[in-house]
Amino acid sequence: MAIEVITREDLNEFRTLLLADLNAMFNSKPQQQKQWLKSTEVRKLLNISSGTLQNLRINGTLTYTKVGGIIFYAYADLQKVLEKNKVDATPNLFNPKWLVR
């Protein structure tokens, strides 16, 4: 029966490999966003009520697809709506753009 001795160098090598693996896991790209979202996911994402979501559908602000009674929203369409309705900050008494410090 052979006995294997673990040295400090073995432990240091193991530590280095373990840290490299953990670093790769944490720095990897996050999971890709789903292409289609259900109503509950959209409501949570935008922090809106079901009535507000229905109004966005009715007035044509938000496009959707209905399959078998389930409504789906394209994630790309949500991003387009948010970008389209983006409001630039306007200078006011408390935040004038011309005031440089």
Q: Name beta bridge partners: 67.
A: 70
Whether 42 maps to a domain, the answer reads yes
CA distances from 55 to 24, 30, 34, 50, 69 (A): 44, 32, 23, 9, 18
Give pTM, 2 decimals: 0.57
SS3 8: helix
Q: What's the confidence (pLDDT) of residue 88?
A: 77
Give residue 101's identity as a one-letter amino acid code: R
- Split into its structural domains, the chain has a count of 1
Whether 67 maps to a domain, the answer reads yes
Whether 30 maps to a domain, the answer reads no
Whether 51 maps to a domain, the answer reads yes
Q: Name beta bridge partners: 38.
A: 72
Q: Name beta bridge partners: 36.
A: 74
Whether 58 maps to a domain, the answer reads yes
Q: What's the confidence (pLDDT) of residue 71?
A: 96
Q: What's the confidence (pLDDT) of residue 1?
A: 67
The values of phi and psi at residue 65, to 5°, are: -130, 135
User: Would you give the DSSP letter of residue 90?
Assistant: -
> Mean pLDDT of successive 10-residue segments in the chain (101 residues)?
84 92 81 86 94 94 94 94 83 62 51
CA distances from 84 to 6, 12, 44, 72 (A): 62, 54, 20, 20
Whether 101 maps to a domain, the answer reads no
Whether 16 maps to a domain, the answer reads no
Query: Which domain does 44 fall in, by range?
Result: 36-84
Distance of CA 69 to the CA centre of its chain: 27
